[in-house]
Amino acid sequence: MFYTTTYQSPVGLLTLASNGEELIGLEFEKQRYPGPFHAEEVVLKDDLPVFDKAKSWLDRYFEGQAVTYSELPLAPAGSEFRQEVWRILCEIPYGEVSTYGEIAKQMAARRGIPRMASQAVGGAVGHNPISIIIPCHRVIGSDGSLTGFGGGLPVKKKLLELEGVDSPVKPANDKATPQ
């Protein structure tokens, strides 16, 4: 059984999901890839301590404070490959961006292989079940373009502006690259 609650943010209504102890999902209202908790029995429960912590984290984040994922108990469900990509996302500092290509290079180095496809990384980034907290919005195209994002490009742009990213550059087609 999973539990959910909602949070009204400056970028729209967010749904938080938990296994009772850890946060397993944070989704936008019209998320491109819904989290795995949708396949299970879900109960609305606003008063879990993990939800209180997550809402406090989100309050501080949207006030412009540099918060980190390590402040929360997270349990994103995904393959070993996706988990590894998500760990790299968590290493992107507040107010900075990385590219799919840079992350692919990091993944290749960690795995001891000559190279990795940026598209494979894009797929993992696009299936991040805990958006914002695991900062997939900090990943941009190699040409500096704002590429696809589960919450939509306007939301991605707003999150980056909130973090003080001067010019996440130029917008791209919202359907281009997953999250």
Neighbour-count burial of 176, counting CB atoms closer than 10 A to its CB (0-12 exposed, 13-18 middle, 19+ buried): middle
Q: Which of 136, 146, 155, 159 is catalytic?
A: 136
CB atoms within 10 A of CB 126: 19
Instruction: Dump the DSSP string for 89-121.
Output: HHTSPTT--EEHHHHHHHHHHHHT-S---HHHH
Our answer to whether residue 136 is catalytic in this structure is yes
Task: Report yes or no: 160 and 137 within 8 Å, Cβ to Cβ.
Answer: yes
Q: CA-CA distance, 16 to 63, in Å (whole number)? A: 19
Could you tell me how far CA 79 lies from the centroid of its own chain? 16
Give catalytic residues, as residue numbers.
Answer: 136
